[in-house]
């Protein structure tokens, strides 16, 4: 594998987690010590001469890594050093790296370094690239330029020297930051100096580098040659050149998207690095549409695990952090961030052996309080048994600060309009209602990407815009509601779904499975190219399916079941059988043709039990519209989706839906239309 020199260049280059097939191979020796230094900085501030907006998710990133390292990879808490906010100064980061990692790590030991915060670019007179710029990491207390206009940032070149000083080759560095522009984009934040300036390094930084060069016996020429060959160990980075590394607020949790998807994947899976590449890339694409992570690894390390050690147990979604009497504090770091709202009071987890069950009493962010049996101990790993989704769940639409209170007076059972409190846009929302430069009103993503076809005429009133957009709100709510059931790694069903070009099953666009996803990378599809789903039911029993498509403009439609003419809307796929959608052999003449450029998504719901109420409602909608696919853009369409959750619900509660992993699987396929 060609090295991309992350610590030496100006870009987070575009190789990520490739060419490694045996994730469980090359385990670290049992006597190896595991050392980690985790750095997270939220407390930046903008000043007259430097644009460093505050961040929200870096502390969470550190917590995500810490809990993962301890409970999934066997790191001792005492061997993990943490520097947060004001403590993460330049001197503290460098000193702790020296004393905790360099001075303690022996040749067989494992070292992990994580940085979440702002990134920047610094001039490097000995750069190995033509632009003479070097990646840098902005420590705390770096909001001002020095009198000589230099910065106290820690250059990638410096980290290269520190990593070179380690006695061990078993080192992983994770960087959740970027430097391609920054600030705040909507309700999401970008981890980069917003000025995009090429700064001068401080004299202290240059002297520190020279000191380490002397200790390592390196001349400038020798250091340059080493940098060309690549850094020691494995480096994971959040984004490629000229991309933004994002953090976002979702389900009352702020975190870096890359760190969240990385740690969530590692809670669930210990398969090949190729699988990790596919899964994390797909997750970032679905969330952002463009952010592409980077993996820099030497060819001799391609069969090693990311953290150079295998997980200590099977996959899990949660862990018992502490116990007091018959209640436990749980860490929920293995759950999909989009579904956290679904884990309300009454949700249950079981031990990996399935012998004990814990029940959530309350949840805040990634922490929950649960009632437990007496036998459980701290450190016990847990898997999801059932989630409890409130029937009062709503789609949260953030309102531009320019809108008056008129929008807040519009009542809806499904939509909650969220006003701006602090900052330009509200947090913890699924979409933002705002004005475009033409003074027309429409919908944006949380990162201010326009939702196509959602903007009206100039000078439209906010009340008229909301009325016009009500069908779109209905579609967006339908997708939001189904996403609350996403459980590909927790479900006990055995099903695989792929999307491919019509009549070309080998031309796969995207795929997902409950039996771990394959290493296939998503392939873009040209607009208006006919597509087809293939469902493979590997389960022991028949499954009843619903397949929904979400277009780039947010419109939501049902493509399976679809035989409304004969009245056969059973949606059944027999055990050990395959099914194509659409399938000309079944008399299905409609076509799935992506009409717009952008991001599309398919949601696939499978159930062991018939979806009787859902199919009945869909049959009525299909007969009325006399067309396929069935659009969900009205109240009656929403009723059909709510009937779906009622069909999946095994408790028939009045205020919640309880969805069991034994009976239900929901998968998501995100794909790019070009």
Highest-pLDDT range among 372-376, 588-592, 656-660 = 656-660
* From 195-204, 341-350, 474-483, 491-500, the region with the lowest mean pLDDT: 195-204
Supply the mean pLDDT for the chain: 85
**What is the per-residue pLDDT for 569?**
62
Say which residue, 502 or 94, is predicted with more confidence.
94
Say which residue, 564 or 574, is predicted with more confidence.
574
**What is the per-residue pLDDT for 29?**
39
pLDDT category, 180, cuts 50, 70, 90?
very low
DSSP 244: P
What tokens were used for 11? 């870009």
**What is the per-residue pLDDT for 71?**
95
Model confidence pLDDT, tens digit, residues 380-436: 999 999 999 999 999 999 988 878 666 666 767 789 988 876 666 677 889 999 988
Please list, in sequence order, all residues whose beta carbon lies within 8 angstroms of the beta carbon of residue 213, skipping any fewer than 6 positions away: 161, 219, 220, 223
Strand pairing partners for 295? 236
**Best CA proximity match to 636, nearest among 552, 547, 554, 558:** 558
Instruction: Using the predicted structure, report yes or no on whether residue 303 has a pLDDT greater than 90.
Output: no
Distance (Å, rounded) from C-alpha 231 to C-alpha 169? Answer: 10
Model confidence pLDDT, tens digit, residues 105-117: 999 999 999 999 9
**What is the per-residue pLDDT for 100?**
99
* From 211-215, 415-419, 521-525, 597-601, the region with the lowest mean pLDDT: 521-525
CA dihedral 329, 333, 336, 339 (to 10 degrees): 20
**What is the per-residue pLDDT for 249?**
72
Mean pLDDT of 530-540: 96
Whole-number Cα distances in Å, 331 to 38, 362, 370, 414, 604: 18, 12, 11, 30, 28
Instruction: Using the predicted structure, report yes or no on whether residue 20 has a pLDDT greater than 50.
Output: no
CB atoms within 10 A of CB 450: 15
**What is the per-residue pLDDT for 217?**
97
Model confidence pLDDT, tens digit, residues 119-174: 988 999 887 777 788 889 999 998 889 999 999 999 999 999 999 999 999 999 99
**What is the per-residue pLDDT for 666?**
98
What share of the chain in percent tops pLDDT 90? 57
Q: Where is 620: in which H helix or E strand?
A: helix 612-625
Q: Where are the alpha helices (DSSP H) in 191-236?
A: 203-216, 220-229
| pTM given for the model | 0.88
Say which residue, 11 or 532, is predicted with more confidence.
532
pLDDT category, 26, cuts 50, 70, 90?
very low
Instruction: Using the predicted structure, report yes or no on whether residue 183 has a pLDDT greater than 80.
Output: no
Model confidence pLDDT, tens digit, residues 243-294: 566 676 766 889 998 999 899 989 987 655 556 666 777 777 777 666 777 7
HEC string of 634-673 equals: CHHHHHHHHHHHHHHCCCCCCCEEEEECCCEEEEEEEEEE
The two counts, helices (H) then strands (E), for the chain are: 10, 36
Distance (Å, rounded) from C-alpha 560 to C-alpha 166? Answer: 56
Instruction: Using the predicted structure, report yes or no on whether residue 175 has a pLDDT greater than 60.
Output: yes
Instruction: Using the predicted structure, report yes or no on whether residue 618 has a pLDDT greater than 50.
Output: yes
**What is the per-residue pLDDT for 299?**
63
Instruction: Using the predicted structure, report yes or no on whether residue 634 has a pLDDT greater than 60.
Output: yes
Contact 72, 263 (CB under 8 A): no
């Amino acid at each position: 594998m060609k090295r991309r020199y992350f610590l030496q260049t100006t870009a987070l280059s575009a190789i990520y987690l490739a060419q490694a097939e045996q994730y469980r191979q090359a385990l670290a020796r049992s006597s190896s010590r595991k050392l980690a230094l985790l750095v997270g900085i939220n407390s930046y501030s903008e000043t007259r001469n430097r644009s460093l907006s505050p961040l929200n998710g870096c502390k969470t990133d550190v917590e995500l890594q810490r809990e993962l390292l301890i409970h999934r990879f066997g790191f001792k808490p005492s061997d993990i050093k943490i520097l947060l906010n004001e403590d993460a100064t330049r001197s503290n980061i460098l000193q702790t790296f020296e004393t905790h990692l360099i001075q303690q790590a022996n040749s067989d030991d494992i070292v992990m370094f994580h940085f979440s915060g702002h990134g920047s670019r610094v001039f490097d007179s000995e750069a190995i690239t033509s632009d003479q710029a070097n990646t840098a990491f902005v420590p705390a207390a770096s909001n001002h330029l020095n009198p000589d206009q230099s910065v106290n940032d820690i250059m990638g070149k410096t980290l290269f020297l520190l990593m070179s000083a380690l006695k061990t080759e078993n080192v992983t560095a994770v960087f959740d930051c970027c430097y391609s522009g920054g600030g705040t984009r909507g309700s999401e934040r970008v981890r980069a100096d917003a000025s995009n300036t090429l700064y001068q390094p401080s004299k202290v930084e240059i002297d520190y580098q020279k000191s380490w060069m002397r200790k390592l016996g390196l001349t400038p020429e020798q250091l340059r040659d080493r940098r060309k060959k690549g850094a020691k160990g494995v480096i994971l980075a959040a984004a490629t050149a000229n991309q933004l590394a994002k953090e976002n607020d979702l389900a009352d949790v702020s975190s870096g998207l890359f760190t969240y998807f990385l740690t969530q994947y590692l809670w669930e899976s210990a398969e090949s690095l190729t699988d990790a590449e596919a899964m994390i890339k797909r997750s970032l694409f679905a969330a952002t549409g463009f952010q592409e992570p980077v993996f820099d690894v030497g060819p001799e390390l391609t069969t090693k695990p990311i953290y150079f050690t295998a997980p200590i147990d099977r996959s899990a979604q949660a862990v018992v952090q502490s116990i007091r009497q018959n209640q436990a504090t749980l860490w929920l770091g293995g759950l999909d961030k989009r579904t956290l709202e679904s884990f309300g009071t009454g949700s249950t987890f079981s031990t990996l052996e399935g012998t004990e069950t814990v029940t959530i009493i309350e949840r805040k962010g990634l922490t929950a309080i649960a009632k437990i049996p007496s036998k459980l101990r701290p450190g016990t790993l847990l898997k999801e048994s059932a989630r409890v989704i409130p029937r009062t769940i709503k789609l949260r639409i953030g309102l531009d600060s320019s809108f008056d209170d008129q929008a807040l007076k519009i009542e809806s059972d499904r939509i909650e309009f969220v006003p701006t409190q602090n900052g330009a846009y509200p947090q913890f929302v699924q979409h933002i209602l705002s004005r475009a430069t033409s003074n027309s009103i429409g919908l944006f993503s949380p990162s201010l990407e326009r939702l196509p076809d959602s903007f009206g005429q100039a000078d439209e009133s906010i009340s008229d815009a909301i009325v016009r957009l009500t069908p779109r709100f209905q579609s967006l709510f339908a997708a939001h509601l189904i996403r609350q059931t996403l459980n590909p790694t927790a479900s006990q069903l055995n099903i695989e779904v792929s999307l491919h070009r019509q009549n070309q099953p080998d031309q796969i666009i995207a795929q997902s499975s409950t039996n771990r996803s394959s290493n296939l990378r998503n392939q873009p599809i040209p607009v208006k190219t006919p597509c087809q789903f293939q469902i493979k039911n590997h389960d022991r029993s028949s499954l009843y399916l619903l397949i929904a498509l979400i277009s780039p403009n947010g419109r939501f439609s049902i493509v399976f079941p679809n035989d409304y003419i004969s009245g056969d809307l059973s949606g059944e796929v027999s055990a050990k059988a395959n099914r194509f959608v659409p399938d000309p052999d079944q008399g299905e003449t409609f076509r799935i043709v992506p009409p717009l450029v952008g991001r599309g998504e398919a949601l696939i719901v499978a159930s062991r039990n018939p979806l009787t109420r859902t199919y009945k409602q869909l049959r009525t909608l299909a007969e009325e519209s006399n067309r396929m696919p069935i659009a969900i853009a009205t109240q009656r369409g929403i009723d059909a989706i709510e009937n779906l959750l009622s069909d999946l619900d095994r408790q028939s509660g009045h205020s919640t839906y309880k969805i069991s992993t034994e009976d239900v699987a929901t998968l998501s396929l995100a794909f790019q239309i070009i």
